[in-house]
A and B are shown apart, each in its own frame.
Chain A
Amino acid sequence: MKKHDHLDELDKELKSMPKPPLEEHKKYKVHETIMSATSSANKEERSFSQKYIHGLGGFAAVAALLLFVYGATMFLGESDHRGDEGTGLPIEEEATVYEFLFEGESEHWYGEYYYYGEETVWRNEAGVPQHLGNHSYQIVVTYKGELVDLESIDFIEINWSQDASGGSMTRSISDGELRKKEFASSGGGSGGRNNINKDQVIEVTVKWAGLEESFELVVSNSDQLDQWENRGPAMFQLTMMVQNYLLRKLGPETDIYSNTDYDWDEELGRWVMVVAMTEAIHEDWKEDILEIVDGKVPVEFIISRYTNEELSKKQEELAEQMMDENMFESYGFEVQDIFINQRENKVQLGIKPYTEENAQIVHHYFGEEMIHITEAMEFEEPVEDSIP
């Protein structure tokens, strides 16, 4: 009885959860886009880009292009509609780059926030220009005093906000664990426009040892950008740059599939960029790509057996089956990751805990073809750290 009483309490709490409306000006903009897209589109005449998008597995236009940009995958088949102009094509030849460094400090802390984003304007199937961008950021907050000052503290919490978004990092510290007075986090995202400009102010709050300091990061002069460009974490921007290069070389009507992604190399103990194409890549292009990558990461060129379309379809099928119920619960393990492993040219399923036997059970259900089973990655879901 008690249990149900309490669950009813939860019902009440759920009902009272906030339901904030989308801000009016944003709502107006969305409405305008929908109206413009739906009134100008002729449903009978399928454009090249629509076919292309359906070729990717029936995702909605934006979702598919997001995947496209993010996985830096290009599959440009079904090009029988050569009469179309301007659809499925970038309107501008080059991507627009947004790169900023913000800096600021308080009495005890110094912060830097580096942002790198690229944005391309495409016409969608309705002929409406769409801005598709992605970005990565790194934030580093450094204690200005001596490391020894921090030794007695249990945790540090750092929050920042940048326009409509922000983030936080918290770190619990056990005895003697703290070796650096630099706290770093990075991330990225993709979507519409790059939501950043030089006038923005990033607010940072650091809480430590019962103290709290807030300060603002403002845009810094750009001659320090070079050193940021060469730091590791911007790696995934490289895939986008390589793929943009291939897109321009191959053109929108090619039937060559290509994909650029990272795979973990056990032997090297590091990530390797894998450029996969259904045909051998031109030697000159290889050189150009190596130049873009500039030695930041090893590059491997492979000829792939399955196209991304086939792999995405398989990934989608598997995801659908896994989503419904946790089908392996009774065997005492679960599938945590489903993504495309370029090097293996298969859909990778990460299971936890991983054993040969568990892997066999998965194969028993889904077969061997196109499936690669490994141990689940630990940081699959970003979770909030527990503050003691």
Chain B
Amino acid sequence: MADTKQLSEWFHKYSDDVYHFLIYRIGFREAEDLMQEVFIRAWKGMDSYNGDASPKTWLLSIARNLALDEYRSNKKRIWQKMISFEPKHDIRSEETPEEILQWNERKRQIYHGIRKLKGNYRDVMILKGIQELSVKETASALNWSENKVRLTYFRAKDALKRELGGGIYREEA
């Protein structure tokens, strides 16, 4: 039987990390919805958790897998959503969580920039860039090689820079 007490401890220790990952990965509201799922899934898999990874990276890897499921259901959702767009041109709308309205302009740009990156880029950017996991920890959470983490992180930053429209990198003579 999985250990409920252990789970509770992990929750107190790591729920903020999981939450931070999810808000950048899938958005604020969805993050709240998925929080409990992450820990329930962890509880179910606790017997098979072998301690190779730290509990934190293990929980983050569960969060990431759930985010992928969420992404897939979102594909469907976006399609559903567009049906309700009338007219389906000119005006584009985007949900803006209230939380980020308090951030400064630059941080909001970065948040939106990250949300526009493809999944892999977003994962590595959040874990390594924002949450400051080491290459090794990031590799463990994503189940990638360390090389792949470095390479993808590099590409992700490049992509983000392009999203931000050259605000960071200006070619100088």
Closest to A70 in B: B77
B1-A6 in contact (CB<8A): no
The A-B contact count (CB < 8 A) is 233
Determine if B157 is an interface residue (Cβ-Cβ < 8 Å).
yes
Determine if B52 is an interface residue (Cβ-Cβ < 8 Å).
no
A13-B106 contact in complex given A22-B16, A187-B84, A323-B68, C-beta closer than 8 Å: yes
Measured CA separation A70–B81 after assembly (Å): 10
Within 8 A of B (CB), among A259-276: 261-262, 271
Closest to A15 in B: B132
A22-B15 in contact (CB<8A): yes
Within 8 A of A (CB), among B113-129: 116, 118-120, 125, 129
Measured CA separation A43–B2 after assembly (Å): 9
Measured CA separation A323–B71 after assembly (Å): 10
Instruction: For the complex formed, measure the closest distance between the CB of A188 and the CB atoms of chain B, giving whole angstroms.
Output: 6
Closest to A271 in B: B83
A382-B19 in contact (CB<8A): no
B40-A34 in contact (CB<8A): yes
Determine if A186 is an interface residue (Cβ-Cβ < 8 Å).
yes
Within 8 A of A (CB), among B2-31: 2, 4, 7-8, 11-12, 15-16, 19-20, 23-24, 28-31
Question: A1-24: contact bitstring with B at CB < 8 Å (1 yes, 0 no)?
Answer: 011001101110111011111100
A15-B129 in contact (CB<8A): yes
Determine if A325 is an interface residue (Cβ-Cβ < 8 Å).
yes
A159-B129 in contact (CB<8A): no
Which residues in A have their C-beta under 8 angstroms from that of B111?
Answer: 17
Which of B36, B92, B120, B161 makes the CB contact (< 8 A) with A385?
B92
- Choose the segment among A55-63, A249-257, A352-360 that binds chain B (4+ C-beta atoms closer than 8 Å): A55-63
Which residues in A have their C-beta under 8 angstroms from that of B120?
Answer: 323-325
Which residues in A have their C-beta under 8 angstroms from that of B43?
Answer: 34, 38
Determine if A167 is an interface residue (Cβ-Cβ < 8 Å).
yes
B130-A15 in contact (CB<8A): yes
Determine if A208 is an interface residue (Cβ-Cβ < 8 Å).
no
Within 8 A of A (CB), among B70-116: 70-73, 75-88, 90-99, 101, 103, 106-107, 110-112, 116
Instruction: For the complex formed, measure the closest distance between the CB of B4 and the CB atoms of chain A, giving whole angstroms.
Output: 5
Determine if B135 is an interface residue (Cβ-Cβ < 8 Å).
no
Closest to A195 in B: B29
- Total interface residues on A, using CB and 8 Å? 88
B69-A59 in contact (CB<8A): yes
Which of A9, A61, A323, A379 makes the CB contact (< 8 A) with B37?
A61
Instruction: For the complex formed, measure the closest distance between the CB of A141 and the CB atoms of chain B, giving whole angstroms.
Output: 10
Interface centre among B19, B73, B158, B168, by most chain A C-beta atoms within 10 angstroms, is B73
Instruction: For the complex formed, measure the closest distance between the CB of A157 and the CB atoms of chain B, giving whole angstroms.
Output: 11
Determine if B139 is an interface residue (Cβ-Cβ < 8 Å).
no
Which residues in B have their C-beta under 8 angstroms from that of A190?
Answer: 77
Measured CA separation A126–B39 after assembly (Å): 14
A186-B4 contact in complex given A34-B36, A171-B90, C-beta closer than 8 Å: no
B79-A339 in contact (CB<8A): yes
B112-A379 in contact (CB<8A): no
Measured CA separation A38–B11 after assembly (Å): 13
Measured CA separation A362–B80 after assembly (Å): 25
Instruction: For the complex formed, measure the closest distance between the CB of B89 and the CB atoms of chain A, giving whole angstroms.
Output: 9
Determine if A191 is an interface residue (Cβ-Cβ < 8 Å).
yes
B84-A136 in contact (CB<8A): yes
Measured CA separation A13–B113 after assembly (Å): 13
Query: Which 3 residue pairs are nearest across A and B when measured between Cβ atoms?
Result: A14-B129, A185-B93, A6-B169
Residue ranges of A at the interface with B (Cβ–Cβ < 8 Å): 2-3, 6-7, 9-11, 13-15, 17-22, 26-27, 30-31, 33-35, 37-39, 43, 59-63, 66-67, 70-71, 126, 136, 138, 159, 161, 164-171, 183-192, 232-236, 239, 261-262, 271, 315-316, 319-320, 323-326, 337-340, 377, 379-385
Residue ranges of B at the interface with A (Cβ–Cβ < 8 Å): 1-2, 4, 7-8, 11-12, 15-16, 19-20, 23-24, 28-37, 39-41, 43-44, 66, 68-73, 75-88, 90-99, 101, 103, 106-107, 110-112, 116, 118-120, 125, 129-132, 157-158, 160-161, 168-172
